[in-house]
Structure 1
């Protein structure tokens, strides 16, 4: 049963050529093949074992081509896309808060009252955004996306921290955030900020697994 595995990995190694994450990729696929071999007790010969491996993972050439294609995706574009999305999220919220408090438009007050009534739903949507960030980086860049995830996370977090500083030092009046700005809400925001990276990391792991 080891020969199909060794043959598959040898062909994959050859196809990856000088890929920067070659060893990590080979180790991960070796783990998956070992799992398949455990389930392949019903295979009658090595040919059937190889067919089982290929049907589950794809052929070595196909896999190598996918990893080469992954390198063609520009990490910088992915990073700035998510940073821009987070800035738009905070920018939109900031403009909504500003206009609501400065202009007192009736229709805007209705939107504000509806949004402030569902902070939990907004928080869940925001956590999903960070999970999606990790997932897309994991799926698009595999093992090589770990550093990209950290850089993207830190840069995307700047608007969050800036808003916290402006609010804590009352540069932005606390009254602007009524009825949200309570002790429990502030604590929830701090906790949410602390768990954003673990959420992104889990998304990254999930995306990396999905890329295989």
Structure 2
């Protein structure tokens, strides 16, 4: 019997939730060690990071453009392989066992697991090969006509409130406007609040202080993942 019930989505943030740490920060460190970013660019990235920590308004596209200067005008296949290798050597070991288990449980329950992230798409695509999520929505960089990367973001970074709108756009296209519901959402940072508020069931994973306060107000379970 074919069910016409809406598809139930379980949406996971990536950095700080599914993995321990922040993959763009780890990538910048990796690029600095390999001397793939000039010092002037590194200083500008660090200044952006300080302002972000202070919760000052920031241009999310701008900082991703700075990071991707390391890859501008390089072939897409070469850069994607570099990022896959970086994921394997540095990020994979940070994938939280509890996140993997939760994704598997949602899959077993018939829910569709989606990872949504501001990080660069090749990193999340690599993670998808080893973990129990079926779809991903992440930040994509523009590709030039000669199949090399530019250092421009395609569209908008999947950050903050953009995560919720990106999930809606994806799900409407994939399942139809009435064919899905946001059943579960997992996030660790106060910038995840929009997608957590939209979910039927929200989980704050090792939340920062603003998100912890919001979780208490909203009655969201707080998960302490190692």
User: TM-score band, normalised by the shorter chain?
Assistant: under 0.3
Higher strand content, 1 or 2: 2
Give TM-score scaled by structure 1 length. 0.27
Structure with higher Rg: it is 1
Give TM-score scaled by structure 2 length. 0.26
Higher helix content, 1 or 2: 1
